[in-house]
Each structure stands twice: as structure tokens, then as C-alpha cells.
Amino acid sequence: MGAEPDSPATIDSSMAGALAQLREAFLPRFQAAPTEQALRDENAKILGKKGELTAILKGLGQVPPAERKAIGEKVNALKNEVEQGFERCLRDLRAKLRQAELSAPAFDLTLPGRMPATLGHKHPISLVREEVVAVFRQLGFAVFDGPEVEHEENNFTLLGFPPDHPATDMQDSFWTESGHLLRTHTSNIQIRAMKSLKPPMAFLAPGAVYRRDDDATHSPMFHQIEAFLVDRNVTLAHLKGVLAEFAERMYGPGTPVRLRPSYFPFVEPGAEVDIGCVFCKQSDGTRKGCSLCKHTGFIEVLGCGMIHPVVLRNCGIDPDEFSGFALGMGLERIAMLRYGIPNIKLMFDNDPRFVAQF
């Protein structure tokens, strides 16, 4: 037996009952919500598409037209009340949470993190700089620092560059408006050290240098390390000894070293230094030659020489009493050789995938 359809009067009164019930209940329900999400969920249960008040609203069609208006107004009034109640509770809840946050014990920044942080990596240039500095420190050299914006004198003139030397041209150096320049090499540190200190001295100077160069194998900013030693009776043999030691410690025991005569204005004699190619080195220590060493088995790593007597004199050191050697190397080149990096640009791209390999 089917149920009797509700009479309009019952619909009317049951609707009014439901409305009254909801009016009683909605605020305590909102107030009981512990979080903003719980509050929003509760609101949706009443005002949402399938919400309780929405259901009542849908039932309005069955109310006799005479009563519809009055009930409809009640429903709408309750809807407004619920909406306002929700907004009020939301504000109160946020204020309460904020207050709880403020009165909670202070956040302890010194606590260890819960998530393991991924550590960064040192750049290969930093790694080789540290390595080269460590090798020279063990040999008794100390670090001497100096500025990257330099007087022309310290960068060129006192090092014996003739006034019309091409390196002093606008193309090769970055000049400031005040007539200074970004140092083009770390050899300026020789001058600074020798002008300010009396021999004996043994220093190394790592740092950034700048030239107007930018192509596949050159970058306008790169890094060098200069090393120099001044004392009585210093000879080319001392220089060679230091170079052999350096090559062994950086590139492994038995790494061959050779000096080729070359010209730099601040040394006499001057030389370029090659070491056995690291790219085609065989397990028995021989080199079979490769495209990177142009099939010679040797690769150039630095410039060096005996400090020119004129340079010593320019810095107030008597060349009859003292002599010294100096050498300068490009760190990018050393890093490329040390790690087998084929392209200098990789070191300036700032790609974390590159740095992460070291």
C-alpha cells in the first residue's frame, strides 16, 4: 500500500519545522568547526547544491501558491542568516587561530630541519683554486690579496709593459671613467707585494681578472693564480722544482713537465709550461696524443719566468742582491684539465646539473 501524498498543509508545516530546526542548529554547527576547511564543509552541507536549505528551497514548488510567498521569504531570510553566520564564524575562527599562533611559544629557528636539505656543490673553479692554494701553502707560500680595480701602473707600467703595448689598448682592457682598469691579470699582486714588503717573500694570489674577449674559448671574466718568490740566490732551478712538485700534486706522480721559452715583459728568461696531456694519458703513464693536445702529448698550463731586474728595481728591490721567479695560471684551464671539462663556457652557464657533478 503506497503512502498517502502529503496534503499542502503538512508540506507547509513540515517545511516550517525544517526551517526552524535549521535556524536553531546552523550556528552551533559552524561554531564547532575546528578549522577553516571544516567550517566551509559545514556551510556547503547547508547552502551547497545538495545542501539542506537548498533542498528546502527546491520543495517550495509543492507549496500552495497562497503560502509560497511567505515561506519563500522565510527561506531567503534564513539563507541570509546562514551566510552572515558563516562569514562571522570564519572571521572569528581566523582571529582565534591567529591568536593561538601569536601566543604559542616562539618558533625556534635553531631546531634541525625535518626534511633533509639537499646540499649545494662547490664550483669546479673554487675546487681547483682551493687545491692549488693548498699545494702552494704546503710549499711555504702565503696568500696575498689585492683589488680587481687597479692602477694602470701596477697592472702594466711597473711590470715592464712598454707604453704602446697592445694589451693596453681599449680593446683588451676595461677602463673606468676615472682612468683605472679592471686588472687583466693577477701579476699586479707581484708589484703590490714587492712595493710594500721587503724580501724574502713567497706569495700566491688567486682572483678574478678581466679582458675584452668573448668567444668559444674566452670569457671576459676569468680566474688566475699568480705565485712568486723573491729571495737571495733564487734560480730557474727553484722555479722548475716548484713546477714539478705542483704538477705531481695536481695531476699525479710522474706527470712530465716541460718549459718552452716564451716572452712576457716582466720576466727574463720567460717560459710557457706544458704538462703531459691528461686527456690521452695511458695506464702505463705514456701519452698517445689526441686532438686536445694536438697530438703532442703535452698541454700548456701556465706562464712563468725569472722576475725581470727592471721589475724588481721598479718596486725598490735591488736586483744585484735579490732575484725571484713568478708564474701565473688560468684557473679555468686548470679545472678543465683536472676534470676533463671540454668547453670553458660550461663553467659560466650556471647550470646546476653541471656543478652537481663535482
Q: Which of 93, 85, 96, 95 is nearest to 36 (CA)?
A: 93
207 contributes a contact to ligand DAH by CB under 6 A: no
| CB contact at 8 A, 260 and 272 | yes
Q: Which amino acid is at 285?
A: G
Taking the complex as a whole, how short is the minimal distance between the CB of residue 349 and ligand DAH, in angstroms? 24
Q: Which stretch binds ligand DAH (CB under 6 A): 90-98, 148-156, 215-223, 301-309?
A: 301-309
Taking the complex as a whole, how short is the minimal distance between the CB of residue 266 and ligand DAH, in angstroms? 6
Taking the complex as a whole, how short is the minimal distance between the CB of residue 243 and ligand DAH, in angstroms? 11
Three cell numbers at 106? 616562539
57 contributes a contact to ligand DAH by CB under 6 A: no
How many residues bind to ligand DAH according to rule CB under 6 A? 11
Look-up: residue for cell 684557473? Answer: 331
How many Cα atoms sit within 13 Å of 181 on the Cβ side? 25
Out of 154, 168, 173, 187, the residue judged to bind ligand DAH by CB under 6 A: 187
- Give residues 246-285 in contact with ligand DAH (rule: CB under 6 A): 264, 267
Distances in whole angstroms, Cα of residue 328 to Cα of each of 84, 146, 163, 264, 301:
77, 15, 22, 11, 9
Taking the complex as a whole, how short is the minimal distance between the CB of residue 329 and ligand DAH, in angstroms? 7
Compute the distance between CA of residue 135 and CA of residue 324 in angstroms, rounded to an integer: 19
Q: Which of 321, 327, 328, 309 is nearest to 199 (CA)?
A: 321
Out of 185, 192, 223, 333, the residue judged to bind ligand DAH by CB under 6 A: 185
| CB contact at 8 A, 344 and 223 | no
Three cell numbers at 222? 676569468
DSSP letter at 275 equals: E
User: Which residue's CB is nearer to ligand DAH, number 267 or number 341?
Assistant: 267
Compute the distance between CA of residue 340 and CA of residue 317 in angstroms, rounded to an integer: 41
304 contributes a contact to ligand DAH by CB under 6 A: yes
Dihedral sign of CA atoms 230, 231, 237, 243 in order: negative
Determine how many CB atoms are found less than 10 A away from the CB of residue 118. 7
Taking the complex as a whole, how short is the minimal distance between the CB of residue 186 and ligand DAH, in angstroms? 7
Compute the distance between CA of residue 267 and CA of residue 160 in angstroms, rounded to an integer: 9
User: Which residue's CB is nearer to ligand DAH, number 86 or number 203?
Assistant: 203
User: Which residue's CB is nearer to ligand DAH, number 193 or number 327?
Assistant: 327
Three cell numbers at 80? 541570509
Out of 124, 207, 305, 324, the residue judged to bind ligand DAH by CB under 6 A: 305
User: Which residue's CB is nearer to ligand DAH, number 67 or number 172?
Assistant: 172
Taking the complex as a whole, how short is the minimal distance between the CB of residue 302 and ligand DAH, in angstroms? 7
Look-up: residue for cell 625556534? Answer: 108
User: Which residue's CB is nearer to ligand DAH, number 30 or number 210?
Assistant: 210
Taking the complex as a whole, how short is the minimal distance between the CB of residue 230 and ligand DAH, in angstroms? 12
Binding mask 319-358 for ligand DAH (x = CB under 6 A): -------xxx------------------------------
Q: Which stretch binds ligand DAH (CB under 6 A): 1-9, 40-48, 108-116, 299-307?
A: 299-307
Q: Which amino acid is at 196?
A: S
Taking the complex as a whole, how short is the minimal distance between the CB of residue 281 and ligand DAH, in angstroms? 25
Please give the residue ranges that form the binding site for ligand DAH (CB under 6 A). Answer: 185, 187, 226, 264, 267, 303-305, 326-328
